[in-house]
A and B are shown apart, each in its own frame.
Chain A
């Protein structure tokens, strides 16, 4: 049913640290690798080795540049995927009931056997979290690796979303954001984690941790090298020419 649950017992989600993300795209690759053979149909590619490659990914890493009022500009790598919103507009617009939010953990999923591929859920999502699979004609989205996190066949340390498990810098965290004592909730509280596009009133579960403010360097490191005092003949010339 595409009615949203009144409340969810847990709010599983991701916390993404923009301070430590290095933009290596390992999460993109791990996500594609796992979900190509996990929940639902594979993530198809069209013309992957040709002139016009295209394909479905559930996670995309952007890069943005900011110019603070003072100092050097800052480049931030920005992974973008489903935020598992509490008020998920992608769920309520679905005409078939294929799109749903789980009452037990808040994960937003697509039942691909019921999806007609109308694309309205992707239109309703502000975050571009849903992509249509051109081969199967059904909507694909982040499942929070629902087939990993509860999977008793995996070693306990692997019961994490593939993107979190693979991140080499530990920039991605997974946990229950409804529990104020959970590691992810404490991280959000300490680092002032925030939600994306609050004006869309979707109440995302995922949080982003802003880049830390770096201490401004007192003097640019190359300044001493530039300020070379000439000596000897060159020094004499420098002094004489300065007087003319």
Chain B
């Protein structure tokens, strides 16, 4: 699948933003006044900025409001609802922290749950696709949730949590890489089943329907850039999980927060780029390429 920069930016930043907002909503980082305003502001900026970036890949972003209409069937629509609901429900808690109103924490907890739901919906948009066997598994939403939770814990330096989540995310990443490599074959789709021509013998592409690229080949048959996949996998696990854990354990909190967040984000971008670049769509079978 084509790794569109706007979608990578959106999923990484909004995931991190919702992670930060969830930590703050739960009251796990007791802050007040300007410090609270900065932390909540950061969370909102990341989440809203990421959602904004998601509209860049739309053909007609002026109609984006219509995406709220199909929550009964569409995970993309559910994501829109959960995102907006989380941002709205968390607002009173944010203001309560900044201005010292002392609102009950239960509202913040509800907001944190909605933030988690928004991230889950993002993951389900990909996990629901039978056509992309590498994504079509519960490990996909688990990865998105783990990224958001770890990102939130790193930015706010919640130490015992952050270290545990580093281990969980590293494990999930390795598991996803390993399962993903056999997923396409396990789905059973071949050029034979795609054309039904295996009843005459093993089919091979004789001639392509068009000499240039088209929307399908550009969007779903992304074959460049898988060359460095093995190195990028190591980089993703080291930068997103292992190095931030070491930085958080070794350095004092303010320095560690900035440094570990920067390193974690670099790892998250590498992992998300791979998430798209390595994913193979079954339509590639018709073109003899995946």
A132 CB contact (under 8 Å) in B61, B72, B215: B215
Per-position binary interface string of chain B over residues 180-216, scored 1 when its CB falls under 8 Å from any chain A CB and 0 otherwise: 0000000111010111110111111111111011111
Q: Are B214 and A95 in contact (CB under 8 A)?
A: no
Q: Are A3 and B73 in contact (CB under 8 A)?
A: yes
Q: Are B201 and A61 in contact (CB under 8 A)?
A: no
Q: A114-B66, A116-B58, A116-B66 are in contact. Are A93 and B76 (CB under 8 A)?
A: yes
Query: Residue B80 at the A interface, CB < 8 A?
Result: yes
The main secondary structure of chain B at its interface with chain A is: mixed
A62–B191 Cα gap in the complex (Å)? 12
Q: Are B77 and A62 in contact (CB under 8 A)?
A: no
Query: Residue A122 at the B interface, CB < 8 A?
Result: yes
A117–B206 Cα gap in the complex (Å)? 33
Q: How many residues of B contact A (CB 8 A)?
A: 58
Q: Give residues 15-71 of B contacting A (CB, 8 Å).
A: 57-61, 63-64, 66-70
Task: Indicate the size class of the contact surface on chain A.
Answer: 35 or more
Segment with Cβ contacts to A, from B92-100, B105-113, B279-287: B279-287
Q: Are B77 and A95 in contact (CB under 8 A)?
A: yes
A64 CB contact (under 8 Å) in B70, B77, B193, B195: B195
Segment with Cβ contacts to B, from A51-59, A149-157, A169-177, A224-232: A51-59
B63 CB contact (under 8 Å) in A2, A53, A96, A128: A96
Per-position binary interface string of chain A over residues 108-151, scored 1 when its CB falls under 8 Å from any chain B CB and 0 otherwise: 00000011111110111111100111101110000000000000
The 27 sampled A-B contact pairs (Cβ below 8 Å) are: A68-B200, A68-B201, A80-B209, A92-B74, A94-B74, A97-B69, A115-B63, A116-B59, A116-B61, A117-B59, A118-B57, A118-B58, A119-B59, A122-B215, A124-B129, A125-B131, A126-B130, A127-B194, A127-B286, A194-B196, A196-B194, A197-B194, A197-B282, A198-B193, A199-B187, A200-B189, A210-B197
Query: Residue B12 at the A interface, CB < 8 A?
Result: no
